[in-house]
Amino acid sequence: MLTIKLYADGANLDDMLAAYQGGIVRGFTTNPTLMRKVGITNYEAFAREVLQLIPDRSISFEVFADDFETMYRQARQIDSWGENVFVKIPITNTAGESSVPLIKRLVGDGIKLNITAILTLEQVQAVNSVLSPHVPAIVSVFAGRIADTGRDPVPLMAAAAQMLKAESQAELLWASPREVLNVYQAQECGCHIITATKDILKKLDLQGKDLTEFSRETVQMFYDDACKAGFQIDC
């Protein structure tokens, strides 16, 4: 049984509303790259429309400045948009300078944060040291990107979960999943949340499916598609 919280990741409003109405999703995340991909040009207008339509789920919106003072001002503004908003703060700026002092400052202001683009345990520990058990926070570790480098992310995620549990009580999010198996891996190693694309959400009902029948259905798919395509081999 899945107990991990599923957050839909994307910026297509129709997909977000479908996931919201489907009832399985507990929250949403997005970022400037996803917004640009679907053609969004007015960041605040999009965010406010989403928050009007989805008023009772956690939704993370990211700052996009590269200097920490402007990040701070953007974070304060984004936080003012709704009670269900988490402000996404990248772990560094583009120069690789740590955003931990900014995170500490925002936590001091009581702002709910989603710290993003984390890939190392050292980054998790640095963030954890300035979080507060009294201010909700999400620590997003990009397990999928770790896996892209040929490293197994599971031990790192398990260690991160223990680190957060012992100190800040922040929720650990498995970000950038690559396949449905990651959902089960994330739950097993103690993550609280995993982001999921539309394709991953659609496959969750395959849990426990009989593999022999799944094999037959796969053969049926190949056969049906060959027939529909009108393929022929003269023999």
- Tens of pLDDT, residue by residue over 45-67, are 999 999 999 999 999 999 999 99
Closest CA to 59 of 25, 32, 90, 27: 27
204 lies in some domain: yes
Q: What is the pTM of this model?
A: 0.94
Two structure tokens written together for 73: 């001002």
23 lies in some domain: yes
Domain that holds residue 162: 5-208
Q: Which helix (H) or strand (E) holds 230?
A: none
Spatial distance between the Cα atoms of 216 and 141, rounded to a whole number of angstroms: 38
Across the chain, mean pLDDT equals: 96
Give the pLDDT confidence of 89-131 residue by residue, as tens digits.
999 999 999 999 999 999 999 999 999 999 999 999 999 999 9
Closest CA to 111 of 141, 92, 93, 88: 88
72 lies in some domain: yes
Task: Look at residue 25 in the predicted model and tell me its pLDDT.
Answer: 96
50 lies in some domain: yes
Task: Look at residue 165 in the predicted model and tell me its pLDDT.
Answer: 87
Spatial distance between the Cα atoms of 137 and 168, rounded to a whole number of angstroms: 9
219 lies in some domain: no
Task: Look at residue 210 in the predicted model and tell me its pLDDT.
Answer: 97
Spatial distance between the Cα atoms of 231 and 235, rounded to a whole number of angstroms: 13
Task: Look at residue 1 in the predicted model and tell me its pLDDT.
Answer: 83
Which residues, 6 or more positions from 228, have their beta carbon under 8 angstroms from its beta carbon? none
Q: Determine contact, residues 49/61, Cβ cutoff 8 Å.
A: no
Task: Look at residue 155 in the predicted model and tell me its pLDDT.
Answer: 98
Task: Look at residue 44 in the predicted model and tell me its pLDDT.
Answer: 97
CATH number at residue 37: 3.20.20.70
Query: What's the total number of domains in the chain?
Result: 1
Give the pLDDT confidence of 157-189 residue by residue, as tens digits.
999 999 998 878 899 999 999 999 999 999 999
**198: pLDDT confidence band, cut at 50, 70 and 90?**
confident
Spatial distance between the Cα atoms of 126 and 104, rounded to a whole number of angstroms: 10
Task: Look at residue 197 in the predicted model and tell me its pLDDT.
Answer: 87
pLDDT at 12 over 90: yes
228 lies in some domain: no
43-53: burial string, b at 16+ Cβ within 10 Å, e else: beebbeebbee
172 lies in some domain: yes
31 lies in some domain: yes
Spatial distance between the Cα atoms of 177 and 196, rounded to a whole number of angstroms: 7
